[in-house]
């Protein structure tokens, strides 16, 4: 990347090479100072520019300085209403043309949204938001989400003007190119300053609900009457496409229910989507719908030039504390383009040289591509010292807090740094074969309730199945409008919104560990959000119960078949299917440790025995031997299984051993973790010389050939399930020890 030479230290540390998903290449290595809390110390941070650091240290030490920062923070809207309109026009056009020019250079991208949203975006980033460009991870920053992620050049232009090191002129010129920090949609793991990963429509607004929830929750837990250390807003721009997606209705219904007053969403009401005028498919009354969802709704009729209207709307939104606000901003897509504005033609393609020229003429913009006029640069340049001052101010406030409330401060620190409390894993329960058998969903509940006592950032809930998924935290109440400090989240029957909200929570602070739950089959409803968890490196814990035909009578609509395979195929997901108590504890250990990739725990409805040989350490390897009566790494058979079928494999092994065979039983609780082990370890579990292998799993056989090989046999279910008592279905479908024994004999 051409801009490497101008990277600051923080960027060098943050810059990530392709391929990027793997535990060996974490996004925030421990050597990075920012997220490990040194930003809170009294000495200037190594990553701030000298100017910022000086400003910061100066202001932090003096009461007047602190007051000044407070003025900056609290009165931003009022102060900046005085900004010269002509200058704002220039800044807005600078944003427009950075987007136009970058899309034109890439000959790919979406200029329409940035051109239409530039006025509101200018006001949000230049006049309203609190942030520190030199520390994109400063805890108390306002969060911004571009839910209409295709318009990402808007946000890249803003980050560039605001002084973020991640988006320099060279980065803008590399828009949508291999290895750049300005990819085709906003990706938090590529570009510091981007909070979440958007593009798939509706995800961003739901992420924003999660961000706002996290703020409300942490504020309720940690703020004190004399020290408001958590106090920031979440801003979103969403478009018509986001509004049409069901996920946004789910998440916004919850935001209204929860009364997330510091969530302010700007709806870019431009009446154009890819297929043309939205009238062809979208004629509902969005304002009335949002009012029905419990939101405060404001309409800015002139989003193209009505700066004061936009400012007044934001002021009004902030004044409404008990409801989220949707500001409908009517804009013209591609504003300024004489021939393409207000048409789908400007949505997703470069304008073309001729139309770019015409737009330059129309908006009186004589500058070269990528040029930002000096007065605009100068105007925006204040954000670097101001941001440093804001952070310094907050650091000082936190230092006082820490003195007065050392316990809360320690807990809070662990949440905002992501450092797990020492010895947390000792809370995990362990079992012996003599421990009573239980469903892994119940064992999961034991783990959750044990972990919540040692992990201050653990919170979560179910999509209206808490009593089936067994996810209630018994020592806490419900997170509700009047009890935001509580840690049981009640998502209602809204799986997709739930997943995306958890992504937002996870990305709010490194130490927040959200979990969410439904029946495993209903991951189908939330798959798009789970994929984003995996891509954006959000370590959400998915507690997925009723993981097979073992759920019985509810029948094929409720019985997962292909789901294990479908997640094993998805990059950067840990798909875990524990077999008993020790393995469930192991699955939780893995899930908690993996903060950069989501874990999906597939858990049984039915009771299972505690098996000899299972262990937490085994789970951490993904696949391991639970029993073996062979020697020299040469058993007659290898039987392998996951979850509820490990018991069946163990029984089949007993049968075969009675007949004088040597049999190894392997638990393959997580294929991904096993893949990451050394070749030697893998050979010690699955020696190449042993080809008589049988697998059994109450799901599709798809993918199992990898472990059973050309000569082995995979027992599974390659059809939909059935409605009947679980035992009956297992028998009818041949998921039995007898079937394993027969398969083994057929290949011996």
100 to 119, contacts with a second copy by CB under 8 A?
106, 108-109
Q: What is the bridge-based pairing of β-strands 272-273 and 276-277?
A: antiparallel
- Nearer Cβ to a second copy, position 220 or 472? 472
Residues numbered 684-723 forming contacts with a second copy, rule: CB under 8 A? 700, 702-703, 705-706, 709-710, 718-720, 722-723
Residues numbered 572-611 forming contacts with a second copy, rule: CB under 8 A? 572
Query: Binder to a second copy among 5, 43, 283, 678 (CB under 8 A)?
Result: 283
Query: Binder to a second copy among 490, 651, 682, 745 (CB under 8 A)?
Result: 490
**Dihedral angle sign, alpha carbons of residues 410, 411, 414, 417:** negative
- Nearer Cβ to a second copy, position 183 or 387? 183
370: left (phi over 0), alpha (psi -120 to 50) or beta: left
- Nearer Cβ to a second copy, position 5 or 467? 467
Tell me whether residue 468 is annotated as binding.
Answer: yes
Q: What's the CA gap between 345 and 275, in Å, rounded?
A: 10
- Nearer Cβ to a second copy, position 129 or 206? 206
Tell me whether residue 189 is annotated as binding.
Answer: no
> Does 527 participate in binding a second copy (rule CB under 8 A)?
yes
Q: What's the CA gap between 138 and 662, in Å, rounded?
A: 59
DSSP reduced 3-state for 665? strand
| Cβ within 8 Å of residue 427, ≥6 positions away | 450, 451, 453, 454
Residues numbered 396-425 forming contacts with a second copy, rule: CB under 8 A? none
DSSP reduced 3-state for 545? strand
Q: What's the CA gap between 595 and 511, in Å, rounded?
A: 8
Tell me whether residue 21 is annotated as binding.
Answer: no
Instruction: Mark whether 645 is an active-site residue.
Output: no
Task: Provide the minimum distance between the beta carbon of 422 and a second copy in the complex, in angstroms, as a whole number.
Answer: 33
Residue 155: which of 114, 110, 192 has the closest Cα?
114
- Nearer Cβ to a second copy, position 394 or 674? 674
Task: Provide the minimum distance between the beta carbon of 278 and a second copy in the complex, in angstroms, as a whole number.
Answer: 8
Tell me whether residue 306 is annotated as binding.
Answer: no
Q: What's the CA gap between 421 and 531, in Å, rounded?
A: 29
| Interface with a second copy: number of residues (CB under 8 A) | 116
Contact 598, 541 (CB under 8 A): yes
Task: Provide the minimum distance between the beta carbon of 265 and a second copy in the complex, in angstroms, as a whole number.
Answer: 16
Q: What's the CA gap between 477 and 473, in Å, rounded?
A: 8
Q: What's the CA gap between 352 and 338, in Å, rounded?
A: 13
Tell me whether residue 522 is annotated as binding.
Answer: yes
Query: Binder to a second copy among 217, 221, 360, 531 (CB under 8 A)?
Result: 531
Distances from the Cα of 289 to the Cα of 218, 261, 316, 485, angstroms: 29, 18, 20, 29
Query: Binder to a second copy among 372, 388, 420, 465 (CB under 8 A)?
Result: 465
Residue 371: which of 612, 173, 665 has the closest Cα?
173
Residue 606: which of 546, 668, 519 has the closest Cα?
546
Given the rule CB under 8 A, which of 162-170, 277-285, 578-586, 644-652 is the region that contacts a second copy? 277-285
Per annotation, catalytic residue among 495, 583, 645, 647: 495
Cα maximum dimension of the chain: 90
- Nearer Cβ to a second copy, position 127 or 269? 269
> Does 535 participate in binding a second copy (rule CB under 8 A)?
yes
> Does 553 participate in binding a second copy (rule CB under 8 A)?
yes
Tell me whether residue 379 is annotated as binding.
Answer: no
Tokens standing for 497?
């919104």
Residues numbered 224-263 forming contacts with a second copy, rule: CB under 8 A? 240-242, 244-250, 253-254, 256-257
Q: What's the CA gap between 584 and 599, in Å, rounded?
A: 12
Tell me whether residue 629 is annotated as binding.
Answer: no
Task: Provide the minimum distance between the beta carbon of 667 and a second copy in the complex, in angstroms, as a whole number.
Answer: 20
**Dihedral angle sign, alpha carbons of residues 464, 467, 471, 472:** positive
> Does 9 participate in binding a second copy (rule CB under 8 A)?
no
> Does 732 participate in binding a second copy (rule CB under 8 A)?
yes
Query: Binder to a second copy among 532, 538, 611, 619 (CB under 8 A)?
Result: 532
Q: Strands of 296-300's sheet, edge to edge? A: 143-146, 234-238, 263-269, 325-330, 296-300
> Does 477 participate in binding a second copy (rule CB under 8 A)?
no
Contact 116, 335 (CB under 8 A): yes
> Does 474 participate in binding a second copy (rule CB under 8 A)?
no
Residues numbered 155-214 forming contacts with a second copy, rule: CB under 8 A? 176-180, 183-185, 187, 197-202
Residue 411: which of 450, 472, 454 has the closest Cα?
454
Task: Provide the minimum distance between the beta carbon of 709 and a second copy in the complex, in angstroms, as a whole number.
Answer: 5
Contact 325, 238 (CB under 8 A): no
**Which residues are identified as catalytic?**
495
Q: Which residues fall in the annotated binding site?
A: 110, 150, 199-201, 240-241, 270, 272, 347, 441, 468, 522, 546, 554, 558, 605
Annotated binding-site ranges for thiamine diphosphate:
150, 199-201, 241, 270, 347, 522
Which residues does the annotation place in the binding site for substrate?
110, 347, 441, 468, 546, 554, 558, 605
Residues belonging to the binding site for Mg(2+) are: 240, 270, 272
């Amino acid at each position: 990347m051409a801009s490497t030479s101008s990277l600051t230290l923080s960027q060098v540390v943050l810059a990530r090479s392709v391929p990027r998903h793997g535990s060996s290449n974490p996004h925030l290595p421990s050597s990075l100072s920012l997220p490990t809390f040194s930003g809170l110390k009294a000495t200037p941070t190594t990553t701030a520019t000298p100017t910022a650091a000086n400003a910061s240290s100066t202001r932090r030490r003096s009461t007047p300085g602190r007051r000044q920062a407070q003025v900056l923070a609290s009165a931003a809207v009022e102060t900046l209403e005085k900004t010269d309109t002509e200058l704002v026009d220039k800044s807005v056009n600078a944003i427009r043309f950075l987007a136009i020019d970058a899309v034109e250079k890439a000959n790919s991208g979406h200029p329409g949204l940035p051109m239409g949203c530039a006025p509101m975006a200018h006001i949000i980033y230049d006049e309203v938001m609190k942030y520190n460009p030199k520390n994109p991870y400063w805890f108390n920053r306002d969060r911004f989400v571009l839910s209409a992620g295709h318009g990402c050049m808007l946000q890249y232009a803003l980050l560039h003007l605001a002084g973020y090191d991640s988006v320099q002129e060279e980065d803008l010129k590399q828009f949508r190119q291999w290895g750049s920090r300005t990819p085709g949609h906003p990706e938090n793991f590529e570009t510091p300053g981007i909070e979440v990963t958007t593009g798939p429509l509706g995800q961003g607004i739901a992420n924003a609900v999660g961000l706002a929830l996290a703020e409300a929750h942490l504020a309720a837990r940690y703020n004190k009457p004399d020290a408001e250390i958590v106090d920031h807003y979440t801003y979103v721009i969403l478009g018509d496409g986001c509004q049409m997606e069901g996920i946004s209705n789910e998440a916004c219904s919850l935001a209204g229910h929860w009364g997330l007053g510091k969530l302010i969403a700007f709806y870019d009401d431009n009446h154009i989507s890819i297929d043309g005028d939205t009238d062809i498919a979208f004629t509902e009354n969005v304002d009335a719908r949002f009012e029905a969802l419990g939101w405060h709704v404001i309409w800015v009729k002139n989003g193209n030039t009505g700066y004061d209207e936009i400012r007044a709307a934001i002021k009004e939104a902030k004044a409404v504390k008990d409801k989220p606000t949707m500001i409908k901003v009517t804009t013209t897509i591609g504003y300024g383009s004489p021939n393409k504005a207000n048409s789908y033609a400007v949505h997703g393609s470069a304008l073309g040289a001729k139309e770019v020229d015409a737009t330059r003429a129309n908006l009186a913009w004589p500058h070269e591509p990528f040029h930002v006029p000096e007065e605009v640069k100068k105007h925006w340049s204040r954000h670097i010292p101001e941001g440093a001052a804001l952070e310094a101010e907050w650091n000082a406030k936190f230092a006082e807090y820490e003195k007065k409330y050392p316990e809360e401060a320690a807990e809070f620190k662990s949440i905002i740094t992501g450092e797990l409390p020492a010895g947390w894993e000792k809370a995990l329960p362990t079992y012996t074969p003599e421990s009573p058998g239980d469903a892994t969903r119940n064992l999961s509940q034991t783990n959750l309730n044990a972990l919540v006592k040692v992990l201050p950032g653990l919170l979560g809930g179910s999509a209206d199945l808490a009593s089936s998924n067994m996810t209630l935290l018994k020592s806490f109440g419900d997170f509700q409008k009047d009890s935001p400090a509580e840690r049981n989240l009640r998502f209602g029957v809204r799986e997709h919104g739930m997943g995306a909200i958890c992504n937002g929570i996870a990305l709010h602070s490194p130490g927040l560990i959200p979990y969410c739950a439904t029946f495993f089959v209903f991951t189908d409803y939330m798959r798009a959000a789970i994929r984003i968890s995996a891509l954006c490196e959000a370590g959400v814990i998915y507690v997925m119960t009723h993981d097979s035909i073992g759920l019985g009578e509810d029948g094929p609509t409720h019985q997962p078949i292909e789901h294990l395979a479908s997640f094993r195929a998805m990059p950067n997901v840990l798909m875990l299917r524990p077999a008993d108590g020790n393995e469930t504890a192991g699955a939780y250990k893995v899930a908690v440790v993996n903060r950069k990739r989501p874990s999906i725990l597939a858990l049984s409805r039915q009771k299972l025995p505690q098996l000899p040989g299972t262990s937490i350490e085994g789970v951490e390897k993904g696949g391991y031997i639970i029993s073996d009566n062979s020697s020299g790494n040469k058993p007659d058979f290898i039987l392998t299984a996951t979850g509820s079928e490990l018991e069946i494999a163990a029984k089949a092994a007993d049968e075969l051993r009675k007949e004088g065979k040597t049999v190894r039983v392997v638990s393959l609780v997580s294929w991904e973790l096993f893949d990451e082990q050394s070749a030697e370890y893998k050979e010690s579990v699955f020696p190449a010389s042993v080809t008589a292998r049988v697998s059994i799993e109450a799901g599709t056989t798809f993918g199992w050939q990898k472990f059973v090989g050309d000569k082995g046999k995979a027992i599974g279910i390659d059809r939909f399930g059935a409605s009947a008592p679980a035992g009956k279905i297992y028998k009818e479908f041949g998921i039995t020890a007898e079937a394993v024994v027969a398969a083994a004999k057929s290949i011996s």
